Structure 1
Amino acid sequence: MIERAYREGSRLGLAVWTQDEAGPYPTRPYPGQSWAQQGQPKQQPHEYVRNGTAKLLTLFCPGSGELRARGVFRAPNAVLHPWLQQELTAILSQLAPPAPVTRANHAMWESWQQGLQARITLPAKLPTLRLLLVWDNLQGHLTPSLVLWLFSHGVMPLYTPLSGSWLNMAESIQRIIVRRALAGQYPQTPEQIIGALEATVTGWNQAPTPFHWGGKRYARRVRHRQRQHALGGSGACMRLSIRCRSTTLQKYLYRFRCQATH
C-alpha cells in the first residue's frame, strides 16, 4: 500500500508526504569528520554535561525533495499536532484546487485501505482526496480528533506496519540532516542542536534532491522472491534448492579441499 503510494501517487494526482520525529539528540560530542588539518584531528572531550535534548519534527515530500522541519525540545501531541496541521494547511493551499466530489470519491479513499487487517472507519461524507501522509503507527498519530481533521482536509494517513519504519522515507532524510548538522560537533545546549538542525534544513531546501522508491535494493528483493535454481542439462529450473545426499559426502569434499590447498 505504501509502496503503491510512492509509485502511483503522483500519477493519480495525489501529493505524497512523509512525517516523522527525529531524536532525541543529547548535548554530547558527536563522532564524525571535521575540517581539522590532516594529522591533527579535532579532539572531543570524553566527559560531557547532560544539559537536555532536542528533537526534529520533519515533513518530507519525496517527489520534490521539499523538507519542512522544526526543532523542538519535546514532541508531545500538544506540540506535534498543531505544527502538523499548520504545515499541512500550507501545503494544501499550494496544490491545485480540489476537483468536484464524484460517486467514485469514497471508493478512492477505501482503495488505500485494501489489505489492512484493521481499517480506519471513514466518515460517510468525505472531500476530494488530495494528499497521502505516510507516518509511523504511534498512539498519538491515531488520535481521533487529528484523524478526523485529516479526513476533513482531504488527507489520507497511511500507517507503516510494526517494524516497518523503513517504508517511511522521512527516516532517510533525517539521517542526512542529522549527519550534516551534528557530525564532528559538540553542542552544549539544546538551542545549539536546534539551530544546527534548522540551518541544515534551510540549506537542503535551497537545492532539494527528490527521492524515488525502488532502486537496487528493491530490485534485489524482487530477485530474492523470484529466485530459481537452474538445473544442468536443460533449461529447467526449480524454486527449492537440492538437498545434499548425505553429510558424509560434505565431510569428504571438505577434507579433499583442505588436502589440495596444503
Structure 2
Amino acid sequence: MTLFRPATGEVRAKGVHSVTNAVLHPWMQEQLLDILANEGGRKKDTCPREKRREATPYHQWETWLGWRLSDRYPPVRMILIWDNLAGHRSDAMVRWLFEHGIMPLYTPLGGSWLNMAESMQRILVRRALSGQYPQTPEHIISWLEQTVIGWNQDPTPFVWNGKRRERRQRARLRRLAGSGAALLSYAR
C-alpha cells in the first residue's frame, strides 16, 4: 500500500499480502491522521462552527459538493486523490474522511495522478529488487519498506512535465516569419 505526496516526494508504504478494505482503511486512516498532526493540524477539530465559517471560504466547497459542508464537517485541510474503486467510496470511509477535514477526489483509472503514483511504485520496486532474488513474500515486503525509508531520507519531488505542458510551451512561442527564431508571448 502506498501513499505518495508529489509536492515533497514523501512516500508512505506498507507491505501486505492483500489489500482488502479491512487492511487498507485502518492503515490509510492512521497515515492520514499522522500527516494532519504533523502539518500543524489537530486530530480533532475543537474550533466552534461559527469561527470556522468566518475563517474558511466554504462557498467554494459547497458548490463543488452540492451540499452545505459547513453545517456537517470541519474545514477542508487536505485533498486526497485516489482511484475510483468501490471500497474507496464506501459510506464509512467517505464519512470518516469528511469528519477529519479530508476531501476525497476520485480520478478515473489511468488518470494522470494515478500514473504518477504508479511511476513512484515502479521506481521503488526497481530499487528494492535490483539484483535481488527474493525467496519469500516477506523478503519483498522487507526490501520495499527499507527502500521507502531510504527514499524518504532524500525524497525527490515530482513536477508535472508531460506532453501537454510541452505543447502549451510551444504555443506560447510566437514564430517570426517562418524562421527558427521565436519570441515568448506570455498568456495572461
Matched, 1:199 2:146: yes
Report the CA distance between 1:125 and its aligned residue: 1.6
Taking only the aligned residue pairs, the percentage that are identical comes to 50
1:108 and 1:129 in contact (8 A); partners too: no
Report the CA distance between 1:72 and its aligned residue: 0.3
**Structure 2 counterpart of 1:152:** 99
Query: Secondary structure of 2:52's partner?
Result: coil
Instruction: Indicate the RMSD between aligned Cα atoms, in angstroms.
Output: 2.8
How far apart in 2 are the matches of 1:226 and 1:210?
A: 26
Q: State the TM-score, normalizing by the size of structure 2.
A: 0.76
1:65 and 1:209 in contact (8 A); partners too: yes
How far apart in 2 are the matches of 1:163 and 1:206?
A: 29
Flag the structure with higher helix content.
2
Query: Secondary structure of 1:72's partner?
Result: coil
**Structure 1 counterpart of 2:77:** 130
1:134 and 1:158 in contact (8 A); partners too: yes
**Structure 1 counterpart of 2:185:** none
Query: Secondary structure of 2:126's partner?
Result: helix
Match of 1:179 among 126, 132, 143: 126
Report the CA distance between 1:101 and its aligned residue: 1.1
Task: Write out aligned runs for 1:103-114 (5 A).
Answer: 105-110=57-62, 113=64
Match of 2:33 among 75, 89, 102: 89
1:62 and 1:212 in contact (8 A); partners too: yes
Match of 2:155 among 200, 208, 232: 208
Matched, 1:140 2:91: no
**Structure 2 counterpart of 1:220:** 166
Matched, 1:190 2:137: yes
Cα-to-partner distance string for 1:153-179 (whole Å, 9 max, x where unaligned): 000011112432x32332221111011
1:71 and 1:194 in contact (8 A); partners too: yes
1:109 and 1:156 in contact (8 A); partners too: no
Report the CA distance between 1:221 and its aligned residue: 4.3
What amino acid maps onto 2:10 in structure 1?
Answer: E
1:177 and 1:201 in contact (8 A); partners too: yes
**Structure 2 counterpart of 1:79:** 23
How far apart in 2 are the matches of 1:70 and 1:86?
A: 12
Task: Write out aligned runs for 1:243-258 (5 A).
Answer: none
How far apart in 2 are the matches of 1:190 and 1:122?
A: 47
Query: Secondary structure of 2:110's partner?
Result: coil
Summarize the Cα distance change of 1:162–1:63 in structure 2 as closer, same or farther, 3 Å threshold: closer
Report the CA distance between 1:120 and its aligned residue: 7.7
1:105 and 1:128 in contact (8 A); partners too: no
Instruction: Structure 2: give runs of 5+ residues left out of the alignment.
Output: 179-188
Query: Secondary structure of 1:67's partner?
Result: strand
Matched, 1:102 2:46: no
How far apart in 1 are the matches of 2:90 and 2:167?
A: 34
Report the CA distance between 1:67 and its aligned residue: 1.1
